[in-house]
Structure 1
Amino acid sequence: MTTPEGFEDDPYVDATAVAVAASSIPGEFLVPDLVETFTAEHPEAVVDTVVTDSAGVFAALRDGSAEVGFAGAEPDGDDLDAEVVGADEIVLAVPRGHALDGAGSVTVAQLAATPLVEREEGSGTRRSFTDALAARGTPLITDQQWTIRDTNAGVIEAVAAGDGIGVVSSWALARHGRADVREVRLDGDPIERCLYLVLRRDDDLGPAATGFVALVREQSPV
C-alpha cells in the first residue's frame, strides 16, 4: 500500500490506518460522513470504525484499540480529553394511542408512573438523561419496569411493541421513526447534550489519525 499525500515522511509502519471507536449517535450520524470525506481526500487511508456505547469508547481508547473516539458523554478521569463537535436533543418516544400520545409535554411524575425503554448503562444517551433529571432535582426514584435495548433502533421497536416510553436521541427518532411512534418532550427546558471527540491526553497520534482529527475539527459545526 502506498502512503497518502501528506503522510510520506512519517516513521510509523502503519501510517495510513485510523482506529476509531464511536458511540451509537455519533457513530451513525457524524462519523460516516467524516470518514467518507477523509478517504476521498486520502484514498489510501483506511478508517476502521467500531460502534459501541460511550463507556466502550473510553475503554477502547484506554486499552489502545482505538486512537480516536466519539461519545455522547464526557469521560471520567483526567487521562482522556474531550471537545465538543456536535449536539443533539434527548426526547421521549411514545407509542401511538398511549395516554401520553399527543401530550404537549410529559412531567417527571408521569414518566415515573409508566414503564421505560432505555439504552444500556454505558450509553451516553442514558447517562445524559439521568444527569439532566438529577440536575433539575427530579431524578427518577421509582420501582417502575425498565426494558433495556442496546441500539436506538431497538428502543424504538420496543416502544412500538408497547414495552414502554422510550428515551432516545431526536436524531435517532427522526431516522428510525415509524408511524406508530410519536415524539414528545419532557416538561421544562429541552434536554440537549453535546457529542464529543475524545482522545488520550498523552497520546501521539499516527499521521493518518492526526489528519483525521484535523478534518473533524475543521468540519465541526460547534
Structure 2
Amino acid sequence: MTLKQMEVFVAIAESRSFSRGAEKNCITQSTASQHIHGLEEELGIRLFDRGRGGALLTEAGKLFFEHVQKILSECEDTRSVIRQFVGMEDVVLRVGASNIPGTWLIPDVLGQFVGQFPKVRLEVLQGDSHSVLDQLIKEEIELGFVGGYFEDERIELKSMGRDTIIFAASTELIALRNHDLEREDLCKVPLLVREDGSGTQKAVYEALSKALTVSKEDLNIVAVLGSSEAIRRALLKGTGYAFVSSMSISDDLANGRLFELNIPGLEITRYFYAARRYARELSPAAAEFWNIMTDS
C-alpha cells in the first residue's frame, strides 16, 4: 500500500469518477484503475461499486476512506513541518557551550543570527567543555562550542578563535608582592582553579607541565569553582590567585580591580572550537549558525 494509491483512492471517492480522479492525480484512467485494483487485492475486498451512478464507495470503502483521509492529513502535516524546518521557520536550535564561548562568543554574534533568521529560536545549554561534548555525542544538542581541543573520533572540531589565559589577583594581593612570580612562588600561593572538565583548566595544566614542569599536585589549590564568573568574584574578594581567560576579566583589568602577574617562561594561549558530530548532516539552522560562529 503506497501513498500514491491512497491519494488516487481519495480522489476517485470524492469525485465519484475514475477519469476525474485520474485527472486530479495527473495519471491515465488505466493507471488509476491499476492503483485501485492493487489496493483491493491487498485488502481482499472491493472498495468501489461501478455503475450508472459512477464510482461509489462500498461499506468497506467508506471505512477505508475515513482512515486514509487521516493518514493523508498526517502526511501533509509532516510535509509542512519539514518545509518549515528547511525554511527555518518556527525552528528551535539547541547548542551547548562552555563558559567563555557561552558568555562572550555566542552573545557577540547573536544579534547577527537573530537578524538573519528571526524565526529560529536559539537555546544555549552551558557547562564545561567535557559535558558539552558529552551532550553532543548523546545528541542532546546539535552543535557544541568549547574551550579546548579534545580527541574523539565521533566529533569534528573546527577552530574559531584564540584566547590568552593570564595569571591574575586582586589589588590587595598584588600589593604584597612584585608583579613577577617565580616558579617556586607559584607553587605556594593560594590558587583558585576550574573543574577538570574545563577547557581553561586543561590548557593551564598542560602549559604548566610543559613550560615549568609543574604538575597539578605541586600547586596549593584552595578551591575548585564551576565557572569563570565564580573565579572572578573570588579574585575580587582577594581569596587567592587564578589562571583566567583575559576575556572574562577584561573590565576588571581596565579599571584596576584585578591585575595580571607575569610568570617568567610561561605564556598560555588556547583556541576555541566549534564541535559537531562526525559525518552527520546539520540542520539548515545549525549549518548557518556553524558558519557564523566559525567565520566571525
Normalized against structure 1, the TM-score is what? 0.85
Query: Do the aligned partners of 1:100 and 1:106 also contact (CA within 8 Å) in 2?
Result: no
Query: Do the aligned partners of 1:15 and 1:206 also contact (CA within 8 Å) in 2?
Result: no
Residue 234 of structure 2, aligned match among 143, 146, 158: 158
Kindly indicate whether residue 118 of structure 2 is the aligned counterpart of residue 43 of structure 1: yes
Structure 1 window deviating more from structure 2 (59-68 vs 180-189): it is 180-189
Residue 105 of structure 1, aligned match among 180, 198, 204: 180
Q: Could you tell me how far 1:99 is from its partner in structure 2?
A: 5.5
**Shift in alpha-carbon separation, 1:120–1:172, aligned structure 2, 3 A:** same
CA distance in 2, matches of 1:98, 1:176: 15
Aligned to 2:106: 31
CA distance in 1, matches of 2:103, 2:85: 31
Aligned to 2:201: 126
1:28-53 alpha-carbon deviations (Å, 9 max, x no partner)? 11111222211110111111111211
Q: Percent identity?
A: 24
Aligned to 2:214: 139
Aligned to 1:94: 169
Kindly indicate whether residue 262 of structure 2 is the aligned counterpart of residue 185 of structure 1: yes
CA RMSD, Structure 1 to Structure 2 (Å): 2.5
CA distance in 2, matches of 1:172, 1:57: 19
Aligned to 2:279: 202
In the comparison of the two structures, how many residue pairs are matched?
A: 213
Q: Could you tell me how far 1:25 is from its partner in structure 2?
A: 0.7
1:187-206 alpha-carbon deviations (Å, 9 max, x no partner)? 22421110111111132211
CA distance in 1, matches of 2:110, 2:289: 8
Secondary structure in 1 aligned to 2:172? coil
Aligned to 1:19: 94
Query: Do the aligned partners of 1:160 and 1:180 also contact (CA within 8 Å) in 2?
Result: yes
**Shift in alpha-carbon separation, 1:184–1:145, aligned structure 2, 3 A:** same
Q: Which has the larger radius of gyration?
A: 2
Structure 1 window deviating more from structure 2 (200-209 vs 153-162): it is 153-162
Q: Could you tell me how far 1:105 is from its partner in structure 2?
A: 2.9
Query: Do the aligned partners of 2:96 and 2:141 also contact (CA within 8 Å) in 1?
Result: yes
Q: Could you tell me how far 1:128 is from its partner in structure 2?
A: 0.4
**Shift in alpha-carbon separation, 1:93–1:114, aligned structure 2, 3 A:** same
CA distance in 2, matches of 1:86, 1:179: 26
Structure 1 window deviating more from structure 2 (74-83 vs 55-64): it is 74-83
Aligned to 1:75: 150
**Shift in alpha-carbon separation, 1:184–1:101, aligned structure 2, 3 A:** farther
Q: Could you tell me how far 1:114 is from its partner in structure 2?
A: 1.0
**Shift in alpha-carbon separation, 1:9–1:172, aligned structure 2, 3 A:** closer
Aligned to 2:41: none
Aligned to 2:248: 172
Query: Do the aligned partners of 1:101 and 1:182 also contact (CA within 8 Å) in 2?
Result: no
Normalized against structure 2, the TM-score is what? 0.65
Q: Report the residue type matching 2:194 in the other structure.
A: R
Aligned to 1:62: 137
Aligned to 1:3: none
Query: Do the aligned partners of 1:72 and 1:125 also contact (CA within 8 Å) in 2?
Result: yes
Q: Could you tell me how far 1:108 is from its partner in structure 2?
A: 2.5
Alignment gaps of 5+ in structure 1 = 1-6
Relative contact order, CA 8 A, sep 6+: which one is greater? 1
Q: Could you tell me how far 1:145 is from its partner in structure 2?
A: 3.5
Q: Report the residue type matching 1:190 in the other structure.
A: E
CA distance in 1, matches of 2:219, 2:147: 27
Alignment gaps of 5+ in structure 2 = 1-81
